[in-house]
Structure 1
Amino acid sequence: MALNSYSLTNQNKASASKINIAQAVKTALANKGRAVMQFLSARREPVITQRFDLQGCPYWEIYNPATQQNYYCLTETEVLIWLETHYR
């Protein structure tokens, strides 16, 4: 009887181990899939926002998601020049 009990216990452990490995692979693939979807759905175009300083003068903030940096321009012409140099 002890031999059969030992054999079943090892089979149960082996099955549990396979399930744990399968679950780990499934979780890893799901995480990678989420990362890929976030990358593909991420904004790649610059975000341009008109702002005003304390004196009420306008300026433009450009956020570049590719570099994750902000740039500031005092005129619309500067914004256009920035766009032409960075996004052609």
Structure 2
Amino acid sequence: MDIPDWFNWIFLGLAALQVLGLVPIIHRLRGLDSAVRFKARLDLLDAVGSLLLFGGAFLSAVVAEPWLWIAAPGFVLMSAGYGIKGVHRLRARRRSTA
């Protein structure tokens, strides 16, 4: 079964939005506050992971199936970023209630 061409344009559009989303992250990385820089690093991890995920899915749809392996590290990076964010939110919640 062939994937329609409009689906490929959706992948490209989502990847372009992720690239545009890197601009405010890079500005926050240059800030002076270490807490803001740490959150920016986690956001950068998430953005790079999603770019790899979209890139791998796009290449596997357009070029060939073997390009899907690029999406796997993207999924791992996104999962790690979300896991770290979740742990920090749980710690902050426990500190405020204690």
Query: By the TM > 0.5 criterion, same fold?
Result: no
TM-score normalised per structure 2:
0.33
Larger strand fraction of residues: 1
Higher relative contact order (CA 8 A, sep 6+): 2
- Normalising by structure 1, we get a TM-score of 0.37
The structure with the largest helix share of the pair is: 2
